[in-house]
Structure 1
Amino acid sequence: MTTANLAKSFRVGLVQMCSGRDVARNLRDAAALIREAASGGAGYVQTPEVTNLMELDRERLFAVAEPESANAGLRQLADLAKELSIWLHVGSMVIKASDAKLANRAYLISPKGEVTARYDKIHMFDVDLPNGEVYRESANYEPGTKAVVADLPWGGIGFSICYDLRFPYLYRALAHAGASFLAVPAAFTRLTGEAHWVTLLRARAIEAQCFVFAAAQGGLHEHGRETFGHSLVVSPWGQVLAEGGVHPSVIFADVDLAMIADVRSRVPSLRHDRKFDVVHADGKAAEVAS
């Protein structure tokens, strides 16, 4: 066990952005806010979903998206993490996975500037909203197939991205796999964010008995989409420890590691999970999504 593992707390910095169509500008904005987070004492810094590019048009997306192996933005962020000696969690980047599909991919970068974990968003946001907005994430992005828990000096962190938030079994599985912290970088729409964002994040924290770190996009973006913002840090007891507004900013929270064991001892629900079958009243087996 390292000295860092013996720490009783650490500071989280969540970067809230309003990313647009200009990748270089988005990366400059992200870098400035990451520096602000580091100067404020954050050892772990998280940026929101699609940090490098907020775009819906397929032609524009594929014109500027780069593969991971040649991604200048990822190299810049890795160099910045090394310079600042922080754990940098890039909430996600638009990555060219093939000629036909992109990946909505998160990266965890160590203070040595090394990528230690990757996660591709599993659940695709395909929806027709009441206000007339239409989203077909699956038209451009290849969904991930693996949930990921990675090691931080203070404990395991489970990955997710935005729409994943609506699938509670993912977070329960991450907690059982050793996560003490759950990451939910996002670009929630204003409409759904106003209705559900805080409630869902608190619920995931309570259910999984983990800290939740959720850096968000916020504001009116160049392509016309409006996102909710309100980046959040939530405790395993469901308390909101820090909350952002709508505009680009950094929010901070000090994470008391003792709270995880305390909450899990007071309500030991993670130890009480049981396997069961779901059946119809007539005795026939029901189909249940896993």
Structure 2
Amino acid sequence: MRIVLSQLNSGTDPARNLKTAQVEIEAAAQAGARLLVLPEAFSCRFGVPLGPVAEPVDGPFATELGRLAEEAGLTVVAGAFSPGGGGRVRNTLLARGAGVHEHYDKIHLYDAFGFAESDTVEPGTRPVVLDVDGVGVGLATCYDVRFPGLFQTLADAGAQVVVVAASWGAGVGKVEQWDLLTRARALDSTSFVLACGQAAPPGETGPAPTGVGHSRVVSPLGEVVAGLGAEPGRLVVDLDLQEVTRARASLPVLLNRRF
């Protein structure tokens, strides 16, 4: 299964970000990929009011993203925002293309390190696993990566691969935590982890989390198969799904659990 992670800096104009999506979708299709992952907050970066850019999961942004993905014949996962209750939005991953029409609302909200995502975002409740060419692909967003139970739940539901789309906050030790957590979650679930974040911003953007880069593909045994630095870039990786089968046979943590 060939996958592509596109690490980039999205802006605040969803229409311009869709043009970026078209470029990335075309490049992924030309590379022969079956799955393209774009970061969290791809439709609009953090740091601006989210209500005005939130759209229904079948709104104009999602519809156009789906059209581009269907025309290219691959599945795209991209971060966006959809309307929530009480004046809040939902931090949503859209999954579209190649027969996939799904979305995931971020379950664990980033109320940490002095930031309160729950002030403006309503949490989701439903874990999601996609079927991409017969491969189970789970969805997770940023802060979700700190919660191993979600990743094991996704594996129980058939995930062999888990996407983590992120807009990771910068700070002392944060890149090291990102490295540790993405590798640990792969080991917890004996699944490939496709961790795609926003690139580090070119300048100061304020207190909202933007990105640190360091997107990576992690094997079911916690090895970083391929990775990027802080700058924008693109990873093209072939996943051998038999590695999942072998890892779960040799390290059966999912079967050995007691809690």
Task: Settle same-fold status: TM greater than 0.5.
Answer: yes
Instruction: Summarize the Cα distance change of 1:193–1:27 in structure 2 as closer, same or farther, 3 Å threshold.
Output: farther
Matching of residue 144 in structure 1 with residue 124 in structure 2: yes
| Unpaired segments ≥5 residues, structure 1 | 1-9, 276-290
Q: What displacement does 1:66 show?
A: 2.4
Q: What displacement does 1:148 show?
A: 1.6
Matching of residue 101 in structure 1 with residue 85 in structure 2: no
Instruction: Give the alignment partner of residue 162 of structure 1, picking from 138, 142, 145.
Output: 142
Matching of residue 197 in structure 1 with residue 178 in structure 2: yes
Matching of residue 17 in structure 1 with residue 8 in structure 2: yes
- 2: CA distance, partners of 1:272 / 1:65: 42
Match of 2:64 in 1: 76
Q: Which amino acid aligns with 1:18?
A: N
Q: Which amino acid aligns with 2:251?
A: V
Q: Which amino acid aligns with 1:103?
A: R
Q: 1:79-138: CA deviations, max 9, x gaps?
A: 111111001122x201223461111111221324x51x22100011113x4xxxx42211
Out of 143-152 and 76-85, give the one that drifted further.
Answer: 143-152
Q: What displacement does 1:222 show?
A: 7.3
Match of 1:171 in 2: 151
Q: Which amino acid aligns with 2:239?
A: V
C-alpha contact 1:14 1:250 (8 A) present in aligned 2:
yes
- 1: CA distance, partners of 2:16 / 2:128: 30
C-alpha contact 2:221 2:247 (8 A) present in aligned 1:
yes
Match of 2:234 in 1: 250
Q: 1:38-61: CA deviations, max 9, x gaps?
A: 21221111111011001334xx32
C-alpha contact 1:15 1:34 (8 A) present in aligned 2:
no
**Partner SS state of residue 157, structure 1:** strand
| Unpaired segments ≥5 residues, structure 2 | none
Matching of residue 27 in structure 1 with residue 18 in structure 2: yes
Q: TM-score of the superposition, structure 1-length normalised?
A: 0.82
Q: Which amino acid aligns with 2:111?
A: D
C-alpha contact 1:47 1:89 (8 A) present in aligned 2:
yes
C-alpha contact 2:4 2:237 (8 A) present in aligned 1:
yes
- 2: CA distance, partners of 1:198 / 1:107: 25
Q: What displacement does 1:252 show?
A: 1.1
- 2: CA distance, partners of 1:193 / 1:11: 29
Task: Give 1 or 2 for the bigger CA radius of gyration.
Answer: 1
Q: 1:194-249: CA deviations, max 9, x gaps?
A: 23111111111111100111111012277435411111111101111111222222
- 1: CA distance, partners of 2:110 / 2:204: 20
Matching of residue 274 in structure 1 with residue 258 in structure 2: yes
Q: Report how many aligned residue pairs link the two structures.
A: 255
- 2: CA distance, partners of 1:240 / 1:195: 13
- 2: CA distance, partners of 1:146 / 1:274: 23
- 1: CA distance, partners of 2:211 / 2:74: 27
- 2: CA distance, partners of 1:158 / 1:260: 14
- 2: CA distance, partners of 1:107 / 1:67: 11
- 1: CA distance, partners of 2:255 / 2:118: 36
Q: Which amino acid aligns with 2:132?
A: L
Q: Which amino acid aligns with 2:91?
A: N
RMSD: 1.8
**Partner SS state of residue 242, structure 1:** strand
Moved over 4 A (4+): none
C-alpha contact 2:67 2:97 (8 A) present in aligned 1:
no
**Partner SS state of residue 199, structure 1:** helix
Instruction: Give the alignment partner of residue 51 of structure 2, picking from 55, 62, 65.
Output: 62
**Partner SS state of residue 185, structure 1:** strand
**Partner SS state of residue 248, structure 2:** helix
- 1: CA distance, partners of 2:245 / 2:253: 12
